[in-house]
Amino acid sequence: MLFEALAIGGLGLASALGLGVAAKVFAVEVDPLVEAVEGALPGANCGGCGYAGCASAALAIAGGKAPANICVGGGPEVAVAVSAVMGVEVVYREPDVSQVDCTYSTQIAPLKYKYDGVQDCRAAVLLAGGPKQCDIGCVGLGSCVKACPFGAIQIGPDGLPVVDPALCTGCGNCEKACPKSIIHLTSVTRRVLGFNANYNCLAPCQATCPAQIDIPSYIRAIGEGRYEDAVGIIKEHNPLPLVCGRVCPHPCEDQCRRGKSDEPVNINHLKRFAADYEMNSGKRIQPFCMPKNERKVAIVGGGPAGLTCAYYLARLGYAPTIYEAQPHLGGMLRYGIPEYRLPKATLDWEIQGILELGVEAKTGMAMGKDFTLESLRQEGYEAIFLGVGCWSSRGMRVEGEDLNGVLPGTDMLIDRGNLKDTPVGERVVIIGGGNTAMDCARTCWRLGAKEVTVLYRRTEKEMPANAIEIEEAKHEGINFHFLAAPTKLVGDNGKLTGLEYIKMELGEPDASGRRRPVPIEGSETILECDNVIAAIGQFPNLAFLEADAAAKDLAVTKWNTIDANVDAGTTNIPGVFSGGDTVTGAATAVEAIGAGRRAARAMHLYLSGEEPEPQDNWVRGPKELPVVSETPEAAPAGRARAKMPELSVSERANSFVEVELGLTEEMAKAETQRCLQCGLYCYRHKDQPYEAWKWERKDNA
């Protein structure tokens, strides 16, 4: 027994000696740098970086073949630790997140054939492009799910991948695994700078929206009770949903395909529901912003265009400062829209959310008086946006405009917005047919006028005002006198006593597409009144250009607007941009919001040393939208459109309390079920070329 033990011990000793010698002979030195880098990595061996494990990644980093921030699973902390080991500077890298573009359920997509092969999207696509008739949609076999090392992707109930942003690290494995490119990496910058393009799957409402909001997505989020997600989706392209939910003319609803069957989806009031939810919840749902780079940009004008431009530049990391001539921000949103449509407290809450992103505001500062383009440049502003709006009213150009009792419409609304005393007589005539005219008429009724008449030279059909504003004015007892135009204002001792008008008839269409009004000779009539308010158009006041030597060379159009590229906001002076009503003339808030975002994109490109050119192939409206050529023949089940609850007419008299009360949660959820979730190409003929896709308006949506 002892002998055997000694023998085993001897063998062990000999083996140890042999291994010791072998270790000396065959020793491989471990690079201490590689060892230190591997120690800084999390050791998860997830493969998200593209290497087999952390040891391979450490070897690549130490060898200069991979950057110090290659570890997508560890996050910024690991990048800092690895950078410290490598002795390099940490540069912030904007996080990517996966985004799924396909919205057409794989469970109901028409099939070309039944596929029973290897359950991998790439394998399936090798056979005739995949089993689905849609050549560009999701195959649905979950290759992206298997490729994700972090469990951030799951297949949803409709057979489409669903990304959890909290788990997604932006490694890009899913993007590489998808043969149809329906899942891809995106980022805040790419989303802010990107605009709807002709090749995107766009619903007609989304293609029509001047702000390019992803309308189907936020409607779907509201329907699923994900109200915070809905707010986030809206604010991706529109920082003023509380405002737009109240005053937007919603051209999106004009293109809603549900309207081909019964009535359009109440898109705008659903937007307001989501925005009201955020405000009433007491917490702000703020977007992700890039780290501050301290580069200064100046925004001249605190209206919707300026606020939007500042919002997106702040999200991109810049330090925007808004210069506003009025005491408070908001522009015509504050001073031109009455409180019964847009309460000041609501506007203040929305603006405060923009300021909290790092936007500075300097109010009571007028360009040409308190500062100039040159002084802004001397203060270190590298780019300047001019969004001064349209504050001057067009005159009627008739005799008697100087009589006491004649008021420009915008002046009256601005005085009311500044809480100044704005007395009116018992009989008031409003000249014009736009939203400003409706605001003036309804405001005068609330101020105590007994008889308010809107005089318009065309018929109601040609009125540019929102249909709902005309309808509400009628409810409040406003009179309308169509096919009539003022010819003279009559007065006594300098005070207005009446208005002479001439009857009109409609002739051929003019440049606006509306039939041109033609006077009927000898039909002049006197209408007795105490006040005449002219609301026939507005234009920018560009007098500040004459007082600013650096701005005198700024190109101006014959319509007294700044001559700028409407797609990018660029002017003839490098580094100076403009947008909104200042460029287009009086338009809508949502159009100004779209212009502000386009200008922010161009300013970012300019500050990055690139040409601030417009994006190619971006969708400017429904006419450019590529869509399906066939639709299901069955009309959707009938369900009435949600009607906005309102104050009664008796409750509105002598009061500027908000008229529209907002949809209830039950109403909003029910309304989302009316949405058809359009924007799919899956019904097109497979032999039809892409360029031939076009709308075919059918009786059934």
Residues marked as binding for [4Fe-4S] cluster? 46, 49, 54, 71, 134, 138, 144, 148, 168, 171, 174, 178
SS (H, E, C) 664-682: CHHHHHHHHCCCCCCCCCC
Q: Which residues, 6+ apart, have CB-to-CB distance to 11 below 8 Å?
A: none
Among residues 149, 137, 147, 143, the alpha carbon closest in space to that of 118 is found at: 143
- Strand-pairing partners, residue 533, are 407, 430
In DSSP notation, 398-446 reads SBTTTSBTEEEHHHHHHHHHTT------SEEEEE--SHHHHHHHHHHHH
Inter-axis angle of helices 267-281 and 227-235, to 10 degrees? 110
Among residues 228, 273, 351, 253, the alpha carbon closest in space to that of 661 is found at: 273
Burial-class residue 336 by CB neighbours within 10 Å (0-12, 13-18, 19+).
buried
Question: How is the beta sheet containing 531-534 ordered, strand by strand?
Answer: 406-408, 531-534, 427-431, 451-456, 479-482
Task: Give residue 415's identity as a one-letter amino acid code.
Answer: D
Check residue 313 and report its DSSP letter.
H
Element holding 250 (H helix, E strand): none
Distances (CA, A) of 55 to 48, 59, 84, 393, 568: 13, 6, 18, 71, 48
- Cα(59)–Cα(52) distance, integer angstroms: 11
- Cα(287)–Cα(274) distance, integer angstroms: 15
- Strand-pairing partners, residue 360, are 321
605 close to 559: Cβ distance less than 8 angstroms: no
Among residues 430, 400, 427, the alpha carbon closest in space to that of 413 is found at: 430
Q: Where are the alpha helices (DSSP H) in 41-109?
A: 54-62, 76-86
- Cα(136)–Cα(573) distance, integer angstroms: 43
Residues of the binding site? 46, 49, 54, 71, 134, 138, 144, 148, 168, 171, 174, 178
User: Among all chains, which residue has been given the structure tokens 């299901």?
Assistant: 632
**Helix-strand-coil split of the chain, %, nearest 5:** 35, 15, 50
Kindly report the number of other CB atoms within 10 A of residue 676's CB atom. Answer: 18
Q: Which residues, 6+ apart, have CB-to-CB distance to 461 below 8 Å?
A: none
3-state secondary structure of 100: strand
3-state secondary structure of 571: coil
What are the φ and ψ backbone dihedral angles of 591, each rounded to 5 degrees?
Answer: -70, -40
3-state secondary structure of 49: coil
- Strand-pairing partners, residue 392, are 539
361 close to 322: Cβ distance less than 8 angstroms: yes
Kindly report the number of other CB atoms within 10 A of residue 664's CB atom. Answer: 12
Output the furthest CA–CA distance in the chain (Å, rounded): 140
